[in-house]
Amino acid sequence: MRVATWNVNSVTARLPRLLAWLEGSRPDVLCLQELKTTTEAFPAAEVGALGYEVAAHGTGRWNGVALLSRVGLADVVRDLPGQPEYEGVVEPRAVGATCGGVRLWSVYVPNGREVGHPHYAYKLEWFEALRRTVEAEGTGSVPFAVLGDYNVAPTDEDVWDPAVFEGSTHVTEPERKALAALRDAGLADVVPRPLKYDRPYTYWDYRELGFPKNKGMRIDLVYGNPAFAGAVSDAYVDREERKGKGASDHAPVVVDLDVA
């Protein structure tokens, strides 16, 4: 089974590239983030023509998540149990489903904006809800993984220049502790380092030639339980998909599994 995650930064803007990537890479399951469209407006017919069922969750704002599967889509859950609100709204940042016997969540963790901002506190609360979900669903023998844009770089090696990010979100100790709590709950980062590159970043800012200069961050992650991690046969960041006109500012992360 091949599973992947990709922050597409607008599924509408990225639709031609998304369809081409699905045809070329043939993932069995693709987790999407930052749809920027409503559930009803998601291009389900277009991806359905390629054999994918869709569980989308979006309101048309800057968030939104989806699961695309050609190996089944069962027990779909939208939003984490107990997911916190922000400004009175439960934002569409998580969708889970069982696909081909593997339990998967596509998540778009809040950005946090800046340290001390209410959105930063919300981010940490959101991570706590995710940890509880992991403890409830991910501790058994069923392969389980949380894939998506975590908006946290796990270590200083996961940003192009730690000094540039000092005091900013994505690298602070509380955020990294929240990520470590998922590992303490039984998950492991299943994408090894290095891959084909010394620093397998997944995000590069559009500004200031971020991608050509490789000024990136590794914030799109795949965290799996032992049953999932033990089945991983290969993993890579599809850096090529970040190139060219109309690319998202994130690259897909792909994981191959040997599962029955």
119 is in an annotated binding site: no
Which domains, and CATH codes, for the chain?
2-257 (3.60.10.10)
Confidence (pTM): 0.96
164 Cβ neighbours under 8 A, 6+ residues apart: none
For the chain, percent of residues with pLDDT exceeding 90: 92
Q: What residues act catalytically?
A: 108, 149, 250
Over range 194-212, report the average pLDDT. 81
**How many residues does this entry show for the chain?**
260
Flag whether 149 is marked binding: yes
Q: Is 63 annotated as a binding residue?
A: no
Helix (H, G, I), strand (E, B) or coil at 184: helix
Q: What is the pLDDT of residue 62?
A: 86
pLDDT digits (tens, 9 = 90+) for 71-101: 999 999 999 999 999 999 999 999 999 999 9
pLDDT recorded at residue 197: 57
CB within 8 A of 34, min separation 6: which ones? 7, 8, 9, 10, 62, 63, 64, 108, 149
Reported as a single tens digit per residue, the pLDDT across 159-202 is 999 999 999 999 999 999 999 999 999 999 999 765 555 668 99
User: Is residue 156 a known part of a binding site?
Assistant: no
Does residue 81 have a cis bond before it (omega within 30 degrees)? no
